[in-house]
Amino acid sequence: MSKHIVHVQVNGEPYELAVEPNRTLLDILRNDIGLTGTKRGCDVGDCGACTVLLTLPGETRGRPVNSCLVLGVEADGAQIRTVEGLAIQTPDGPRLHPLQAKFLEHGAAQCGFCTPGMLMSAVALLEVNPHPTADEVRFAIAGNLCRCTGYVKIVDAVLAASGDESAHPAGGA
Amino acid sequence: MVAQLSVVGTRAPRVDGVQKVTGAARYAADILLPGMLYGKIKRSPHPHARVLRVDGSRARALSGVKAVLTIDDVPRVLHAGAPAPRILNHIKDQYIFDTKVRFVGDGLAAVAAASEEIAEQALDLIAVEYELLPAVFDAEEAMQPGAPLVHETDRNLVVPPIVIQIGDIEQGFAEADYIVEEVYTTGRPAPTYMEPNACVAQFDNAGNLIVWASTQGPFMVRGILAEVLGIPVSKVRVICEHMGGGFGAKQDIYQHEFICALLAQRTGRPVKMEYTREECFLAGKTRHPVKVTLKQGFTRDGRLTARQMRYVANGGAYCSHSPGITEVGCWDATSLFRCENFDIRGYAVYTNNPVAGAFRGYGAVQSLFALNCQMDGIARTLGIDPVDFMLQNVVGEGDLVSAGHRLHANALEACLRRGAEEIGWYERHLRPRQDPSGIVKRGWGVGVEMHSSGASPFIKEQSNAILKMNEDGTVHLLTGVADLGTGALTVMAQIAAETLGIPYASVRVTAGDTDVTPFDIGAYASRTTFVGGGAVAKAAADLRTQLLALAAEKLGASADALEVRDGVVFVSRDPGRALPVRDVVKGEGGVPGRSLMSRATGEPDVAHSFAAHFAEVDVDTETGQVKVIRVVAVHEVGKAINPMGVEGQIEGGLQQGIGHTLTEDLIVDPKTGRTLNANLVDYKMLTSLDMPATKVVILELAPDPGGPFGAKGVAEDPLLAIGPAIANAVADAIGVRIREYPITPEKVLRALRAQQEQL
């Protein structure tokens, strides 16, 4: 199968990749770029573990997508944010995004396999709705399955982060 | 015991939390190695067939294919799928590949190729000739004479029937004023861990095998790989850095773990294998569908005189945990509610279904469903409030409970009373019982449970811990326990820090590597905090003694006079005479400080945790839909080492328990043996929108002397009481009882129709 050259920016870093047209964005993120934080849970868009934020050319805001349902070639020219792009690297270690900090503080990550996708859905929510209600949080993460937490502490963590202004674009995250 | 706790009992963040929220945590499928190949398994489309011929020649010829394995290419060693290192009743009934396939999804060949796509194409090129055999899917049918035999055993029984006879059952029934007999059946929920099974295998050039696996028992995987592949244990290293849930199912060895190693051996290259989600359903493990026939005698004043139970577990195609869950399910029916006369029989049955294995609640989910619901029904028959009736009958201190243990540290009554108070149980009749239209009916129900921490006496317990103090006063803990997501390693660090009197942040935990950590039997049976934590507490107490002895020399005081808190050793009566721990152990003048190390083994006897769950439900009598509105879950855990972690276990357990009660069922077509809903849309587990309001109450009333700081297990308890609470609430709402999990809208409507026909 002939390869196509695809240009993407992932977490601000530009990549030029040669990919077969049948390969998914999830596969490319994990296996070509080596960003394995984005998880593969079902390959068919049912579980949400592979959620990333995708900003296509001409779009101004990243929207959460199941990266297993996006072909790599479709992402040509796009900006992509993954869980690895949330924390800011500093000489003292990662400075966590407020959502990450609240997930940690509230025990919202147990096995952690849904966590990257869950975080990206939550980031997308807070960027458009900085102060959601609990029901709005539950709706925003309804496409992200979790088998460990009963979602209780995840909702708590997102609500806690929503009170933190730095979780929103205006706060510079 | 330490009077004032500073680390134990706090909501310490997970030791591995930063890795998990940043995406840095490596799971087995995240391992990327140079030259790595992808392996795939060819699976049977037939539920029962003889494999006459497997031709891999066309697959071998496909460009990019590096190896094809069939029965001729793999060792033929009979082994058990649930080879817990010290389990007493496992049955060896499987080979890597066999001459027969016994369920749709049974693996019979495998390939390794340069890419996953090529591997998948290659599977289609493997030609298999089958001789189809008659199949059997229903456990009762499988026990009939003349039924197709899945293995060559009497009546398809995995093991001889489990028989528990205590007291005099006939006398018990003779003493009864009333006798009730009912049949309860349960569905086939799947653990549905978010991380599909995965492993990576690599041989180094000295013949050492390294396997990265998603497993609850790295030492179990090591032992069985060594045994079946004929490699010394010392040359097998199993690593599990992080895992994405297991819930019991990942305590089995999986076919792909052998195959991955063999493909790596054959090709001389690292090989990765990942299950698809469909494979997780087909070739993972499910809970056992069980038919429980429960007959009890009771007196007019509400005393139970006899309990007879027949427990038939549909085990699927291989043994896995069928004997274990049947034994636990049967023994647990001797506990919970006091009775002196028992006749209990359990049958673990082979069928041509996907393999049923261990899943949180291990056999007890099924028997406690029947027991709790029947108690609720008896209470209604006698006109006694169900909570009062349970309070009257729950087992107490010193009563004989499961497998001959006498109950100590009991808190069943306290759980029931507290839950009733939280949900306003005795005021429920003052609230509306239906919406204004009369279509939606509201009901309240209760379920109660007790569960053992650890698997003794069925499995001999053992966990180990090694502690090393570094020259700066920090500590390295090496533990064999696996953290499948529960927070076990965090709890281990808290126990070590508290016992040693050093800050939580001063403990670094290393786990999940059989080359590095001491032996452990695995993470299951709600045992890790109780047994693994006990080993850590013992090792830490030893290290503390060594530390104080050394500090005594430096402070010129007797060790008995010293205390250590927050990383500082001081003289109890003169706290000004103090030395930071780092100064106790540091070297001076080019001479290294004394190296402090300790080790300990945890092998405690069994303890019991307790819970009462209360549910408030709405039943839509037009659609049959059951909606859980509110749950109160009261748990007695002895001591919550990390309350946030305990809550997390309970809240997550409720998601799974509500699921098996209302929506989750892996459906196998009884004609073809094919699963009809092996995906996450048609297999319905609860999303964030489906969860009810939950109130979790943790009690610490009955600490167990065998557990660290009195702590007991919690992992499985939340799945045991929620189902009956909901089922009883449904019966309360609509006046008709559904004795079949999952309680789907179809079953509700059918029950309502039958009720109307009777009127």
DSSP B309-323: EEEEEE--SS-TTHH
B32–A83 CB contact, under 8 Å: no
> How many percent of chain B have pLDDT more than 90?
92
Q: Hey, how many other C-beta atoms are within 10 angstroms of the C-beta on A7? A: 12
pTM as predicted: 0.97
pLDDT of residue A24: 98
DSSP assignment of B608-628, as one string?
EEEEEEEEEEEEETTT--EEE
| pLDDT average, residue stretch B107-118 | 97
Tell me the C-alpha distance between B440 and B733, whole Å: 9
Nearest CA in chain A to B197: A41
> Is B385-450+609-758 in the same CATH topology as B2-23+462-602?
yes
Show residues of chain A in contact with B20, CB under 8 Å.
109, 112, 115
pLDDT of residue B86: 53
Does the beta-carbon distance from A110 to B277 stay under 8 Å?
A: no
Quick check: A11 contacting B, CB < 8 Å? no
Band (pLDDT 50/70/90 cuts) for residue A165 is low
B-proximal residues of A, 20-59, CB under 8 Å: 22, 30-31, 34-44, 46-47, 49
Mean predicted confidence (pLDDT) in A149-154: 98
Confidence of residue B758 (pLDDT cuts 50, 70, 90): confident
CA-CA distance, B673 to B47, in Å (whole number)? 5
CATH topology assigned to domain B385-450+609-758: Aldehyde Oxidoreductase; domain 4 (3.30.365)
Q: Looking at chain B from residue 366 to 405, which residues have their Cβ under 8 Å from any Cβ of chain A?
A: none
**Per-residue confidence band for B455, with pLDDT thresholds at 50, 70 and 90:** confident
Burial B545-558 (b: 16+ CB within 10 A, else e): ebbbebbbeebebe
CA–CA distance, A106 with B719 (Å, rounded to integer)? 22
User: Given this model, what pLDDT does residue B401 score?
Assistant: 79
Radius of gyration of chain B (CA): 27
Rounded mean pLDDT of B413-421?
A: 98
Facing residue for A104 by CB, picked from B21, B274, B653:
B21
Backbone angles phi, psi at B10, to 5 degrees: -95, 160
pLDDT over threshold 70, residue A167: no
What pLDDT score does A168 carry?
Answer: 57
CA-to-CA separations, B675 to B16, B189, B193, B703, in angstroms, rounded: 37, 12, 18, 44
Q: How far apart are CA B59 and CA B73, in angstroms?
A: 15
Residues 6 or more apart in contact with residue B343 via CB below 8 angstroms: B164, B165, B169, B306, B307, B308, B309
pLDDT at position B19 over 80 = yes
Taking a contact as any Cβ pair under 8 Å apart, which residues of chain B between 604 and 663 contact chain A?
644-645, 647-648, 651-656
- The DSSP symbol for A30 reads I
Domains of chain B by residue range: 2-23+462-602, 385-450+609-758
Which DSSP category does B73 fall into? G
Residue B438: pLDDT over 70: yes
- The pLDDT of residue A173 is 35
pLDDT (average), residues B746-750? 98
User: Is A54 strand, coil or helix?
Assistant: strand
Which of A147, A149, A155 should one mutate to test binding to chain B, selecting the residue with the greatest count of B CBs within 10 A? A147
Q: What is the distance between the terminal CA atoms of chain B, rounded to a whole angstrom?
A: 63
Q: Which residues have CB under 8 Å from B565's CB, separation 6+?
A: B6, B501
Mark yes or no for CB contact B26/A36 under 8 Å: yes
- CB proximity B687 to A under 8 Å: yes
Q: Is B574 helix (H, G, I), strand (E, B) or coil?
A: strand
- pLDDT for residue A172: 35
Q: Specify burial of residue A93 (Cβ count, 10 A radius: 0-12, 13-18, 19+).
A: exposed
CB contact under 8 A, B245 and A149: no
Average of pLDDT values for A87-99? Answer: 92
How many other CB atoms are there within 10 angstroms of residue B229's CB atom?
Answer: 18
* B455 and chain A in contact, CB less than 8 A: no
**Residue range B724-728: average pLDDT?**
98
Q: What are the tens digits of pLDDT across the range B478-520? A: 999 999 999 999 999 999 999 999 999 999 999 999 999 999 9
B63 Cβ under 8 Å from any chain A Cβ: no
CATH of domain B2-23+462-602: 3.30.365.10
What tens digit of pLDDT does each residue of B647-694 get? Answer: 999 999 999 999 999 999 999 999 999 999 999 999 999 999 999 999
Beta-strand ranges (E) seen in B255-382 are: 271-274, 290-298, 304-314, 342-349
| Residue B2 confidence (pLDDT) above 50 | no
**Å between B694 CA and nearest CA of chain A:** 8
Q: Which of residues 62-81 of A touch B (CB under 8 A)?
A: none
